[in-house]
Structure 1
Amino acid sequence: MRDRLFMLVIIMLATAFFGEMKVNPFGGSFRFSLGIAAFFFGLLWFQSLPVLLTGFLTGTFICGFRVGLDMMISHTAPLDSLQAHLPSAFYYFSFSLLIHLSRARQYLEFPLGVGLIGATVDFASNMVELFVRQLFGDFPDLTLQSIMMLLFFGALRSFFAVGLYNNFMIRQVRAVGEVRQQELEKLRMINTELYGEAFYLRKSMSHLEEITRESYQLYTRLLMSENTESYKALHIAEHVHEVKKDSQRLLAGLSKIINQEGLDSSLAITDLCQLVIRANQKYAEMIGKRIQFMMTCEVDLSTSQIYELLSVLNNLVANAVEAIPSAGWIELAVELRQRDIVFHVLDNGPGIPREEREWVFEPGYTTKYDQAGNASTGIGLTHARGIVHSLKGNLGIVNDHKQLTHFEVTIPTDQLLRKESVL
């Protein structure tokens, strides 16, 4: 209720204010002003307001507002001022009535139609006002020239209000679209993290399957040799089997979340790389580093392996961000090489010693420590290489002559275009 009252007050004040930006084309008190443009825009924008009540209150307020101005500025007698401005109230009464009957607000997706309706209603309302003025003896007889002027100004004010409304709506839609895009990017990043967890869970399930099989085989061997400890092997196999079933349920839940509705099943590789760049720009800003990011993509294709690529590229670019001391640059480049798509991640950080380049992909290898001196897990590159291998590709370090860190990811094009995910 308070919101509606606030909207109503805005419309009345705006209409009164812009109503004083006027011309008097025929002499007397009749005016062309921007007040009706403001009123029409308010009716279109604040669609929760009832049209008839808004028109009645606005018309009454306009009449009282103008009478008050006359009394304060020109010291006009109240009755004379009321006679001059009362016909304006009838204009707003008739305008809101005709807008209500025409149901103009139901056709807002057709701006031209709404503009024509508004122009027609404006002209008809002007005719009502002029008729009332003639009853009060305040207006001469209409001529063809005055009618054409009424039509012109009616169309001008109507299309101005409709154009302003559509301009605001376009800005609003763009703002909503940007927020939606940010939400989708955030959701993709969350899904990428979940994909990494699901990837490891799937690997663990294969190990659990192997452990279950070996435990059961041990049980049968012990049973055949009449070993009294055979039941323990069976007990282990049963418990591992239960853990495997729980893992399957977790994997099914993660898969459902990752493949949730609202996200496209494929994404242009250029857009995917831009997503990686934007995410790591924010990461670099968060940890207080000045890093220039560059991206070149010569591949005009889309991929369905979104989370796989995001996991790999985010890992490599984030590692580059962390490796650069305080300022530097990172480049992400994509090219076609025969039947492969090749991703290059380069940075001008301190680099990786040549003798350690074969160790960086081993689990537990790390050069990163937190403020307390605790080492990182050292499984990021191992994880990235595992994903690339699952796509039948290769991840390695390029031995450039320049002092750069250069990771190269090579994946067959058909693996990135296939519909099913490795998950």
Structure 2
Amino acid sequence: MQTFIKNEKLQIFVIALSAAIGEGFKINPFSGDFFRIGLGVSTFLFLLLFMRHLSYIKAGILTGLVNVAFQAGDWMLLTHSFSVIESLQNNLAAGFYYVVFGFGMSRIQSRITEFHPLLLGGIVSLIDFVANGTELLVRGTLLGTTVFEFHAWFVLLITAIVRSFFVIGLYSSIAVSQMRFLHAEREKRMEQMLNIGAGLYGEAFYLKKSMDTIEEITAHSFDLYRKLKEQSLTSHSQQALGVAQQIHEVKKDSQRILAGILKLFDSKIIVDMNLSEILHFVIKGNEEYSEMLKKTIRIEKDMGDDYNIKNYIPILTILNNLVANAVEAIDLQGTIHLRIFEQDNETLFMISDDGKGIPEQDKDIIFEPGFTTKFNQEGIAATGIGLSHVRDIVRSLGGYIAVKSSEAGGAKMVVCLPTYELKKGG
């Protein structure tokens, strides 16, 4: 297979051989064996459309030669005549068809993908008609038959149109299927990249906070070292200095890690995204998450104005966390509703579910680090940094987050962010 892909001569030979074999399935629109229409032409055109890297002229010449050889041999077997000259006289014209057709297709080879299918079908029909006409003229010259009959040329025109549009239609349907498959693959990779980016953003956000804390601890440790030294507590002061130095090393390591993470999602090279696109990936990702948890959850959306986002990673991180929490709050089946709209220069995100809800006594502390209601099968509590993480990101964007009771009986998370912080060019 690798040899076939790399060897263009072999590919051209396969085209020529396939077209010659296809010519074995033919119809005779005129009386006798004067003119034949076979599937070889359709096969030839179909393969040319999918092998645009090849030389169409070379393919036409080789296909013409192979086709003449096949038809001449077939003619000898049918007529029981082994006259090479007579055989060529009756079949040489078929080779001219492929040469002319290959030349004509080479004129549009670089623009095939640019043409609308209907326009491409019309152009190919014209090329096919000219090639068929050339074959008819050459055959008439060699055999001394009349070729200027309206009926003959009309049949050629209809044949060219039907054959060309049939092949172009088949080619277009396959091309569309390929494009859909590629689009689905690209969307899948995009979703994976978005999830990775959102995860990295969260880690980078907390790492920055940790570095600020480390900086404060380093300053306090060094201040403690100075005070102990002033009191002549040499051994204790050296211990404090050692702690300060070790914390400083941790800070430098954290800086290196943060720099590496930031390189992985440089916001300057990330593609633009609209709110609707972000919502699409959030819904799709969490539908898959609910399936993984073996839950039947329907996620509905209600969206107002759509606009381009400056930096989609924080929004994706916020929505992913909140919708994932809603998925986890629902037992086996339920509904999650996402509503996004603008109000007084602010964009509001409302995520509600019909899960078990949040007790009133917990609503004031759910955003505190360490608070959690999630436990694994071993009874070990989760870290409880999810909602505190979301709150910190929301605050960094100049907004706020609140929790309310949902009309459906579960919880409703309300995130309010300044639109100018989100909208690109806003």
Cα deviation for residue 283 of structure 1 reads: 0.8
The 5-angstrom pairing of residues 216-295 of structure 1 reads: 216-228=222-234, 229-259=236-266, 263-264=270-271, 266-295=272-301
Q: Distance in 2 between matches of 1:331 and 1:15?
A: 61
| Matching residue within 401, 409, 417 for 1:403 | 409
Q: Distance in 2 between matches of 1:205 and 1:170?
A: 51
Deviations 1:168-225 (A, max 9, x none): 4444334323322221221011000001111110010000110111112122222222
Give the 3 Å change call, closer, same or farther, for CA 126–282 of structure 1 in structure 2: same
Cα deviation for residue 281 of structure 1 reads: 0.5
Give the 3 Å change call, closer, same or farther, for CA 419–116 of structure 1 in structure 2: closer
What's the counterpart of residue 399 of structure 2? 393
What's the counterpart of residue 109 of structure 2? 105
Q: Distance in 2 between matches of 1:116 and 1:27?
A: 30
What's the counterpart of residue 2 of structure 1? 4
Unaligned runs of 5+ residues in structure 1 are none
The 5-angstrom pairing of residues 106-121 of structure 1 reads: 106-111=110-115, 118-119=124-125, 121=127
Letter of the aligned partner of 2:357 in structure 1?
Answer: G
SS at match of 1:395: strand
RMSD: 3.4
What's the counterpart of residue 364 of structure 2? 358
Q: Distance in 2 between matches of 1:260 and 1:184?
A: 15
Q: Distance in 2 between matches of 1:157 and 1:308?
A: 55
Cα deviation for residue 50 of structure 1 reads: 4.6
What's the counterpart of residue 383 of structure 1? 389
Q: 1:173 and 2:179 equivalent? A: yes
Give the 3 Å change call, closer, same or farther, for CA 89–21 of structure 1 in structure 2: closer
What's the counterpart of residue 46 of structure 1? 51
What's the counterpart of residue 36 of structure 2? 31
Q: Distance in 1 between matches of 2:124 and 2:408?
A: 69
Give the 3 Å change call, closer, same or farther, for CA 38–79 of structure 1 in structure 2: same
Residue pair 1:340, 1:413 contacting (<8 A) in 2 also: yes
Cα deviation for residue 417 of structure 1 reads: 2.8
Deviations 1:351-409 (A, max 9, x none): 22222222322222222222333222121111111111212222121134652211111
Q: Distance in 1 between matches of 2:230 and 2:4?
A: 84
Residue pair 1:270, 1:299 contacting (<8 A) in 2 also: no
The 5-angstrom pairing of residues 95-174 of structure 1 reads: 95=100, 98-99=103-104, 102-111=106-115, 118-119=124-125, 121-134=127-140, 136-137=142-143, 139-143=145-149, 146-147=152-153, 150=156, 153-154=159-160, 157-158=163-164, 161-162=167-168, 164-174=170-180
The 5-angstrom pairing of residues 291-370 of structure 1 reads: 291-370=297-376
Letter of the aligned partner of 2:263 in structure 1?
Answer: K
What's the TM-score, normalizing by structure 1? 0.84
Letter of the aligned partner of 2:293 in structure 1?
Answer: I
Cα deviation for residue 123 of structure 1 reads: 4.4
SS at match of 2:143: coil
Residue pair 1:269, 1:303 contacting (<8 A) in 2 also: yes
Letter of the aligned partner of 1:235 in structure 2?
Answer: G
Unaligned runs of 5+ residues in structure 2 are none
Letter of the aligned partner of 1:391 in structure 2?
Answer: L
Give the 3 Å change call, closer, same or farther, for CA 58–414 of structure 1 in structure 2: same
What's the counterpart of residue 91 of structure 1? 96
Q: Distance in 2 between matches of 1:315 and 1:216?
A: 38
Cα deviation for residue 306 of structure 1 reads: 1.3
More displaced 10-residue stretch of structure 1: 137-146 or 224-233: 137-146
Residue pair 1:84, 1:138 contacting (<8 A) in 2 also: no
Q: Distance in 1 between matches of 2:410 and 2:404?
A: 9
The 5-angstrom pairing of residues 51-66 of structure 1 reads: 51=56, 54-63=59-68
- Count residues in correspondence: 416
| Matching residue within 414, 419, 423 for 1:413 | 419
Give the 3 Å change call, closer, same or farther, for CA 78–351 of structure 1 in structure 2: farther
Cα deviation for residue 313 of structure 1 reads: 1.1
SS at match of 2:349: strand
SS at match of 2:405: coil
Give the 3 Å change call, closer, same or farther, for CA 8–297 of structure 1 in structure 2: farther
Q: Distance in 1 between matches of 2:334 and 2:199?
A: 26
Q: Distance in 2 between matches of 1:226 and 1:304?
A: 56
Cα deviation for residue 162 of structure 1 reads: 4.8
SS at match of 1:358: coil
What's the counterpart of residue 77 of structure 1? 80
Give the 3 Å change call, closer, same or farther, for CA 382–141 of structure 1 in structure 2: closer
Deviations 1:279-331 (A, max 9, x none): 00111112211111101111322222311111111111111111211111111
What's the TM-score, normalizing by structure 2? 0.84
Letter of the aligned partner of 1:77 in structure 2?
Answer: H
